[in-house]
Chain A
Amino acid sequence: MHGTFNTMQIMDRTGHTSITWDPDKAVEVGVARDTFDKLIKEGYRAFKVEGQDNQGERMTAFDSKAGKIMMVPHLVGG
């Protein structure tokens, strides 16, 4: 995944916010990592996803080479 852009899509009040980074660029990775950690603290769940049928897995730590990360907001029962 070196040299290619990775994406984090954050579901929020704007519809979604996308953050992209190049894993070879430390500054971009740092921004993505900080955002990831902040959202996890807020209650978001992170998932590494692949394809439209959402094959993937839950992430508990940031991975700069994850490819595509979906940040799911905290859910509650209704």
Chain B
Amino acid sequence: MKYIVGIIQPDRLDEVLKRLMDEEIHLVTVSSVVGRGRQKGIAEVYRSHKEQGSLLKKTKLEIAVNEAFVEKTVKAITEGARTGQIGDGKIFILDLQECIRIRTGERGGEAIG
């Protein structure tokens, strides 16, 4: 089992969700986050005072999958989120120790789907 974290441009979310659905990946958690990378921030101006360290708005996806779905997930996120511009984001893949479905108590790969 893997835990996939995707940081993408907020306006690409709908496209990524659609492609995940097409790959039959239903489990996903989405949050609004701010951060920075190579793109750096855009300096905001408030009464002529420039904010130096402003962070950019991004959307974060968290997806738990069985091994067979890892590449499909990566493909859906990459293709859905890519614009070719700097700032398209990152995907991180982590090993997932355990997954438990709260309603039934099922564990492991059974619980993910």
Partners in one complex: no
Residues of B within 8 A of A (CB): none
Report A's interface with B, CB cutoff 8 A.
none
